[in-house]
Amino acid sequence: MKKQFSKHWKASKQARKQRKYRANAPLHVRRKFMSANLKKELRKKYSRRSFVLRKGDSVKILRGEFKKKTGKIGSVDLKKVRVAIEGIQRTKKEGTKVNVWFAPSNLQIQELYLEDKKRMDALQRNVKGSDKLDVGEKESSSSKKDSEKITKEKPKPDNKIKNKEEK
């Protein structure tokens, strides 16, 4: 089996091929593996389910020993596809503290770090966005008013009946 990464690989049922794809993936592809799901309020706000993790995001741990704890991301390791969270450390027998690393799939984004313009653009890129929704809401409310006016302005059928009786 070749060790090189294939751009044309789609999918496979074989676990060994899936592991090979992840192990040999270049960094720009591994970045996509670093995504975690958003909390419900953020999902509604940005109309997307997940987003790529970044240093500065605050996350909640969903699995493992530190379950339900929250913290800011301190460092991101693309090579090994893992994340360290500030304030969550283990003490070794000798007494030194060491960062605990987490897989992105075990985290949920609570708050996004939005000081980067490129990241803001990425959030708005594929979104049916809040701006577009606001415009749509205005249009729908005005169209409701228009439809109410139209129903009020319809001619009454009684007039036609009276005209027929007179003839």
pLDDT digits (tens, 9 = 90+) for 84-137: 999 999 999 999 999 999 999 999 999 999 998 999 998 888 766 445 433 233
Instruction: Assess contact for 102 and 77: CB atoms under 8 A.
Output: no
Q: Which two tokens stand for residue 14?
A: 């074989």
**Could you name the CATH architecture of 34-113?**
Roll (2.30)
pTM above 0.85, yes or no: no
Q: What is the pLDDT of residues 7-47, one digit of tens each?
A: 788 889 999 989 998 889 999 999 999 999 999 999 999 99
* The residue type at 162: K
Domain spans in the chain, listed from the N-terminal domain onward = 1-33, 34-113, 128-167
How far is residue 103's CA from residue 120's CA, in Å, rounded to a whole number? Answer: 24
How far is residue 110's CA from residue 89's CA, in Å, rounded to a whole number? Answer: 20
Angle (CA) 136-139-143 rounded to 5° is 140
Q: Which two tokens stand for residue 51?
A: 């987003």
